[in-house]
Each structure stands twice: as C-alpha cells, then as structure tokens.
Structure 1
Amino acid sequence: MKMNVAILSAGTIAILFILALLAGCTGTAPGENVTPNVTTTAPAAGANVLKIATTTSLENTGLLAELERVYERETGMDLQFIAQGTGQALDTARRGDVDLVLVHAPALEKEFEDEGYGIDPRCIAYNYFIIVGPEDDPAKIRNMSAVEAFRTIAIAGMNNTPGVAFVSRGDNSGTHAQEKALWKEAGYNYTTEILDSGAWYVDAGKGMGDTLILADEKKAYTLSDEGTYLSFANRLALVPIISESTELMNRYSAIAVNPAKYPNTNARGAADFINWLISDEGKQLIGDFGKVEFGKPLFVPLYAPECTGPPFNCTCAEPVPTPA
C-alpha cells in the first residue's frame, strides 16, 4: 500500500513537470520582440440595436415613445434614445456614441455635416416655436412679430419693468439656438448684451419641459416648441402670446452618423430607420400624433416638393442609400 502511494506521488510529480515544460514553450524568449494584442476598434454595434441622440422636445411630447413602440413591433430593432439638447446630441454623435441624430437646429446641423460627422440628412417634420408668457402680458408684446417682441422684452427687462422676465433654456439646444438668432435679429449681441444683463434674464440650463415649469414659477416669458408646450399646458398658467410666424418655424431632421468616421456604427439600421421616417407610414404616424389628446397634431410631416424650397430648404422624400 505504501509503495502504491509512492508510485502515484511520483507519477503526479512527473505529470506536473511535463505540463510546466509545455507551458514554458509558449513563453517569450529573452530579447524576443513582443507585439501587443491591441484591439484598435470597438466591437461591432449590434445589428438589432440602434442608438439615437435626440432632442428633449421630441421626448417631452411623447412622440419618441410612439415611434419606438411602432418601429420595434414591426422590425424587432431595439431603439435606444438619448434625449439631450440638439448641441449635446450632435456632440454625442461626434464621439461616435450613437448611430444617428434627430435634431432641430439647421445651422448646427450644417456644421455637423460639413465636419464630416453626419451624412444623408432628411427633414421629417416641422412645427413652430412659440413665445409663451403670463396671461396679463406685462411687456405688452401680443400681436407683435417675434423679433419685435424680443426687442420689447429686452428693453422692458433692462429698465426693470415690473413683472417682466425671460427664462432661457441656456443649454445650446435647438430652441436655445433659435432664441439667440432672435436676439441677433432684434439688434442685440447675445453674449455681451443679453447674458448677465440683469435679474430679468434667467439662464436655466435645462430641457424644455423643466424650462417651462421654471418660467411658469417665475411668471416669465420663454421660447418653447409648440409640441412641448401643449404636452405641459395642463400644468402651466403660461399662455401662448406669439406663434406661427416664419421666423418661428421649427424644422426637425434625421441625420446618420458617417460610418467612414466610425466604422462600427449601425449604418444599415440608421438608413432603414430614416427611410421609415420619410415613408408614407412614418409621415402619417408623425402627422397623426397628438390629434386625439391635444385636438391638433404636434408635428406637421414634410412632403416634396414643399420641403425643397423656402423656408425649409431640405430633402424629405429621396430614400437614403442602404449600406451593404
């Protein structure tokens, strides 16, 4: 019995010794060049996952949830939305963290495309920005143009007119970009003459829904997209003061992230989703959204040839090429 144990122990030691020698053969000899095993690209995006950076206004209205419900049911694609201001959404796409964007700031969109990050832009719908404020309209801007209204609010605010205040999103969103454009058209340098010009001007740094709530608390004016205002209206005392002028037109677009910049984006999924948005089915869904709950659609789908001329100047019907 003792001999068997000794033999077994010796055999075990021999096996372990042989395994150690084999392991040593796979090592690197002294002085041998080592090539690191480095992964130079991220793992390929899941074919059934589509990441979309989008505006808070589309989320606040509930349209995103409806698009997600219908598209996922029809295709099995998992839509994953990141709701941010348009500027932040475009920066997220610049980092390659999403496959496409849904945004509403034409000037910022053009920069994104000119830099080579965005391809195949398609405008999908529009509504209007509106200037909302207290029912008693302390700055007396009702029936003015949007530019006249902004000029009047600034003069009243800087002169400490009782009850006059303006709350800005202040978040580099599409709405904030439109606000800055209106200040410029009204004759002001936004950075040097509006920001920090007094307590009348409040820089919220928030999404549209939160900005509306803050403006309501302060009994102040603010600029909002119409869809988000309607979806929050039952919580607000603020009322629309100025709406539906050309200078308040609010265009929404879908733009794919350039796979030449980020090869692992889901380029096919992005193309398919954009083509669905500009299809008759997608446009009808967008055009019907809000009719039952709010008595009017929150967005107006764009059709050719209307989209190709002023004030839209965009492509809304030509299909996006589908990558192989």
Structure 2
Amino acid sequence: MAIHRRRALAGIGSAVTIGLAGCVGLGNDDNPDGADIHGETLRLTTTTSTYDTGLLDELNLAFEERFGVTVETIGQGTGAALETARSGDSDVVMVHARSQEDEFLEEGYGVNRRDLMFNDFIVVGDPDDPAGIGGGDDVEDAFATIADTDSTFVSRGDDSGTHTKELEIWAEAGVGDDRGEYQEAGDGMGEVLIQTDQGGGYTLADRGTYLSMQSELELEIHVEGPIEDGPELLANPYGIVAVDPAEHDNVEYDLAMAYIGFITSLEGQELIEEYTVEGEQLFYPEAIADEPNFQQYVPEEWEPSE
C-alpha cells in the first residue's frame, strides 16, 4: 500500500465514494436522536497513539455534539484494546495492527471493519546517532546495525500495533533474540519516547505521537517512513471495527455503527485531515476513495469460496 503525502492530500477532494458505514443511528438537525442513541454512552478502546495525540478529543467532541451521546475512551495498546473488546467491555475498537484485527474478525468478535486513516512509523533516537543509521532508507539494515553495534533499543514490549510492527522488522532483518541493548518498556508510546530521550538509544515510533511530543524531546528521526518516501514496511494504517452483538448482547451496536459512520464520513475525514499539532499534520484520512475497497471489511487473506 503506497502511502505518500501527495496521495493523502488529494484523497478527500477527489473522492466520489463516501461510504457511510453505520447509517443506523445517524440523526440530523430535526431528529438528533437518530435510532434512539441520544443520551447513551459509547465505549471506545483505541491505541495510545490516537489517544495521546489529542486527535480523539476532536473527533469525539464533534460526534457527541452531533448525536447527544458520550464517548468513553480507553487508550491501550492494540493487543489490550482488542482483548477488552473480546471481553465485551468495548463497543468499538480503533487500532493499527492488521494481523491482529484479522484475528479479531476471524474469531467472530468484530464486524463491519473499515479503513480509517494512516500515518507511518519512524526510527527515532539520540541526535548523536551512535549506530550511524541516520539518513538510510533501509529499515531492516538499520535494525541489524543497531543490534550489531550493541546500541540501546527501547521496545514498547506491550503487544501494541507498534510492537507488532517492530517484531516484524526484526524478523525481516534476520535478527533473532540478540538485539543489542534491548529494553522492553511495557508501556505506551509517549512513555517510551520519554524513556528513550532520557536514556539514549533508539525506538520505533508512530509519526503522530512523535510529532505531538517533538517540542519536549531531543530525539531525531533517523529513518523515515513512506510519508517522506521511506520504505513501505513502515506504513501504519488504522482500522475501526464494531464489536459483534451476536457475541456480546450488551454492546451498543447501533451507537458503534453511528460512530463508524461519522468518522468515515466526509465530515469525520476532514477533521482527521485538518488536525495538526504545532502546524504538523499527524494523520491522513483513508476512508474515502475513488474506488470502493471491499477488502477492508474482511481479513486480508480472505477469498470467497467458489
């Protein structure tokens, strides 16, 4: 999936397909209650990156004002967010690890998945760049060099989408358990960036969280992702999935689908497009496209039976 800045900026203006998933529950000025969702509470589990950057404050406020509901947001790593949903303690999940999303769908816990937005991953670290990886465009080689030079690498270590991507890169680099001074923080992206900043070394970060904290850190980007023409391996797409009411009859399915419909609509996608921190765009909308992408609704490897 090619995700370059020019594609993102052209997406909304050229769109011909809006795809309002979740039209149930969508009200209007004359009928703000929609399908009886007025006054209810939506439980949203999501990644720390969307939570920490402040993006959800913008999206949730607009949704709450439109439909007269409350959004209760729990920021967790992708793995934990999906486990919360498996337990029936969430109505909708916004995450960024497609392999884990696919498992969630295949197990019957999720329905009506939609592509939502993207940014990318970057390798950040000490400005002195002790491993000498700065300016390279091969992230596998950068990881291998970090291990070979016995440099410090701070891992999320928490089954998050970022951790999942990190493990994929180590595997692609052919690096086993010997990863230099490897530290597993078991914490969110913001805390890992702070730990890396204070202790030196490198980490893999999503661009949005890094940009939202950049003024507080001395870390520099050493390997860029595809938004700045870096390797596609560092692509970071986000999806949103409703919890299946057939699995948990306590979930607010109408409300979940109204939320999905809103943030994948033109208005929701424009909010994502326009959200910035200190002039930097953090996320790029992807729900609206020139041609429908039916594959987004099902696991990536799924094929219809003949």
TM-score band by shorter chain is 0.7 to 0.9
Q: Would the aligned equivalents of 1:150 and 1:182 in 2 still touch at CA under 8 Å?
A: yes
Paired position in structure 2 for 1:253: 239
Work out whether 1:304 is the aligned partner of 2:289: yes
Task: State how far apart, in whole Å, the 1-side matches of 2:290 and 2:153 are.
Answer: 38
**CA 1:230–1:307: 2 relative to 1, 3 Å:** farther
Q: Is structure 2 residue 283 aligned with structure 1 residue 314?
A: no
In structure 2, the residue matched to 1:289 is 275
Structure 2 CA distance for partners of 1:234 and 1:306, relative to 1, 3 Å? farther
1:119 aligns with 2:101: no
Paired letter, 1:148: D
* 2:120 corresponds to 1:128: yes
1:307, distance to aligned residue in structure 2 (A)? 8.0
Counterpart position of 2:174: 187
- Counterpart CA distance in 2 for 1:104 and 1:223 is 14
Q: Which amino acid aligns with 2:218?
A: A
1:296 Cα deviation from its structure 2 partner: 2.7
Q: Distance in 2 between matches of 1:118 and 1:226?
A: 27
**1:165-244, aligned counterparts within 5 Å?**
165-189=152-176, 193-194=177-178, 200-244=181-225
Q: 1:150 is matched by which residue type in structure 2?
A: F
Secondary structure (helix, strand or coil) at the match of 2:280 reads coil
Q: Give the structure with the larger helix fraction.
A: 1
- Deviation at 1:48? 1.0
Give the CA deviation at 1:46. Answer: 9.3
- Structure 2: distance between partners of 1:91 and 1:307: 30
Tell me the residue number matched to 2:19: none
The structure whose RCO (Cα within 8 Å, separation 6+) is larger is 2
- Structure 2 contact 39–70 (Cα < 8 Å) conserved: no
Cα distance in 1, alignment partners of residues 153 and 174 from structure 2: 17
Q: CA deviation at 1:306?
A: 7.0
**Structure 1 residues 282 and 87: alpha-carbon distance in aligned structure 2, compared to 1, 3 A threshold:** same
User: Is there any run of 5+ residues in structure 1 with no aligned partner, and where?
Assistant: 1-44, 158-163, 317-324
Task: Structure 2: state its 5+ residue gaps.
Answer: 1-36, 226-230, 299-306
- Say if 2:38 and 2:69, in contact at 8 Å, map to a contact too: no
Q: 2:301 aligns to what? A: none
Provide the secondary structure at the position in 2 that maps to 1:151: helix
- Retained in 1: the 8 A contact 2:196–2:202? yes
Amino acid at match of 2:241: I
User: Separation in 2 of the partners of 1:242 and 1:210?
Assistant: 20
- After superposition, residues 34-53 of structure 1 pair within 5 angstroms as 48-53=40-45
**Rg larger in structure:** 1
Which amino acid in 1 is paired with 2:80? Q
SS at match of 1:286: helix
Q: 1:56-205 alignment to 2 at 5 Å?
A: 56-144=48-136, 145-157=138-150, 164-189=151-176, 193-194=177-178, 200-205=181-186
Displacement, 1:148?
A: 1.0
Q: State the distance in 2 between where 1:72 and 1:110 align.
A: 29
Q: Give the alignment's Cα RMSD to 1 decimal.
A: 1.9
Equivalent of residue 262 in structure 1, options 242, 245, 248: 248
Offset of residue 143 of structure 1: 2.6
Cα–Cα, structure 1 residues 307 and 125, in superposed 2: closer, same or farther, change >3 Å? farther
CA distance in 2 between counterparts of 1:185 and 1:47 reads: 48
Letter in 2 for 1:281: E
Q: Distance in 2 between matches of 1:306 and 1:150?
A: 36
Q: What SS is found at the alignment partner of 1:314? A: helix
The sequence identity of aligned pairs, in percent, is: 43
CA deviation digits over 1:102-151, x for unaligned, max 9? Answer: 00000000001100001100011000111001112111112321111111
Secondary structure, counterpart of 2:237 in structure 1: strand
Runs of 4 or more consecutive aligned structure 1 residues displaced over 4 Å after TM superposition: none
* 1:23 paired residue number: none
TM-score by length of 1: 0.75
Cα gap change, 1:213/1:306 in structure 2, threshold over 3 Å: closer, same or farther?
A: farther
Amino acid at match of 1:295: G
CA contact 2:39–2:68 (8 Å) conserved in 1 = no
Residue type of the alignment partner of 1:272: A
